[in-house]
Every structure is written in C-alpha cells, then in structure tokens.
Structure 1
Amino acid sequence: MDPIVEAALKKWPNVPHCYGWLALDARGDWYMRDERIQAAGPFPQVKGSRINHEKLREFIERNYAADEQGAWFFQNGPQRVYVELEAAPWVWRLTKGPTGAPQIHSHTGLPAHQVDAVWLDEQDRLLLSTELGLGLVHSLDMELAADAVEAGLWQPEPCSHAELLRRHGVVDRPVASAQSGR
C-alpha cells in the first residue's frame, strides 16, 4: 500500500466504504461505474467507463487487496472502494519462460511462481490457483496455457465457477454489511 494511503487512513479512519463504483473485467481492465451506469444494469452486462489513465490504473493496482470476508477493494486514500469482479480477483497473463513452462503475472504485474491447481469452469474458462490466489487466464494467453496442458504441466479439472469462488473465499459482488454500517 502506498505510504500516502496509509497516512490518509490514520488521519481519517472512519470514512464510509464505497460499493458499485469500480469493477474488474475478465481481461483485467478496470471500469468506473457511476450512478447512471449502475442504474442501467449490473456488471458486466453494463460495464461503465474503462479506466485508461496509466497512472490511475497503477495507483489502483498498488492499493488492491482483499478484506477478511474475501471481498476485493481498492484503498483510495481513506476510502475503501469495493470491486465487482466479472470472473476472479486476478487475471493471469502468461509468457513463455526459459524452460518452456509459462511464467505467470497478474493483471497488476505481480508474479505468481507456483500453480497449485487448474480448473475449467462451465464456460470453458481456465482458472489457476497460485500463492496469490484464484485467477482467470487471459483469453489472449490461452495458446500458452494449452501448451502447458499438452506438456502435462497443468491438468485442468472441471468445476463450476461459483464453487471455485466459494472454495477460495472470493466475494465477487461485495455489498455493505448491516453490522459494519459501511
């Protein structure tokens, strides 16, 4: 987390959380969803405005984390902005490594070093569990993923998407809790 964000949290510890205004799609793109967009329909049917500003994306990605309940958020200074997830909290990008095995990085640029499990959901999307958590393989990287499967490095198991989220404790549509009042 950025030092300026940590300082803001100490200065203003009780700022209300924000819900519905930020989303992450299955390609690792961030979307702003103002009140008009939220009223027009749920994410991802109505996405909103894609965040193209490089420095803003980098700021979001440096301050992206999960809470104790498994809901993902962006800590924007003193305000926690919860993220709606189209597929998973991570979107994996693959490159061919020196040994031929895929190297994995998240949409935020974090490297993942170990694949613990591989699944195909009911939409034939490939999801990987790593030390960072559950993520979806980016659609543009499926050829490298297929090479890993064919080489016997990964052996996908079928599993429903809802079950994968449950197993990994991921909340894809965070809502304010009555207990926290936030």
Structure 2
Amino acid sequence: MASTTEVEGFAVRHKSFGDMDCPTAQALDQVGEWWSLLVVRDALHGLTRFDEFQRSLGISPNSLTRRLTELVDAGLLVRRRYQERPPRDEYVLTDRGRDLQPVVEAMAAWGRRHADRQGAVRLVDAATGQVADPVLVDRRTGKPITPDEFRYAATERAHPAKRDRLPPAPA
C-alpha cells in the first residue's frame, strides 16, 4: 500500500515497501506516515472521534480522513457508527492496533531522552501510579535489549550486503 502526505495542499504519494522482505519495511508500509502513529498514539490515549483527533493533532480534515481510512484498511482501527442522524463514526483500536503501544512508548521514551520533550501524557503503572520507564526486553530471558547483550544475524533471505556483514542466524 502506498501512503500519501499532504504538502502545501497537494497529496504526495510515497513508495510502497510491500515487496520488501523486511518486517520493519512492512510495518512502515502500514504506519510509516507520521500522522498515522500520532493517530494511533491518540487512540491509545482514549480518543475515538474525528473531532477529537482533529483538535488534538491540528491536522486538516482531508489528511485526517485519509489517515483514518488507511488505518482502518490496514486493520489497525475499526470504524463504528455511534450516531445515525447525522451519520457519525468513531474509530477504535483493534488488537493489531493496540500491539503498536510498545512502539509508540519506545518512541516517546526516546523523545523524552533525546529530544528534550517531557510530553503532556505519561504512561503510569495502573496499580501504583508510578511513571513507567519502558525498555525493550527479550520475551524469553527478560533481559533488556542492548547493543552489548544482543546482535543482529542474517538469515538466508537477507540482502547480500547484510549477509556479507552479519553473522549467520541460527536455523
């Protein structure tokens, strides 16, 4: 799927990464347009209605309509009618959309650390109210993913440039 961005009133299409054999490229193909992750972030914060997203993001109605349609088409949001006259819909995260929470939180943590922005909304422990400090951990061992503890390895499907540079991955 190619995505679009509005630049000075014109829709600009971006190349699709659909043919790339890379999970990062596949994810970017669905949520790589910058407004898309911000819509997901706002949905994680509980926003569901068009006007809520528009007020929060300051995005044009046309751009927001495109983003919501693309997120629904990608299975990250579901559109639900909440009013018949006039017809009004809300947009609710699917399980697939909620699975982006660690990605959104990792980006927010990076922004707090490196872009010097603390943000207006913080992730807190539901039981204690303590502010969370998210880290990426290996599900099998519980170890934090750091460059000292983990490395990349190339499968046989990796691009030759990567197979030349990286050690082989276990089968």
| TM-score, length-scaled by structure 2 | 0.29
User: Structure 1 or 2: larger helix share?
Assistant: 2
Query: Which structure has the bigger radius of gyration?
Result: 2
In terms of fraction of residues, the more strand-rich structure is 1
TM-score, with normalisation over the residues of structure 1? 0.27
Q: Which has the higher contact order (CA 8 A, sep 6+)?
A: 1
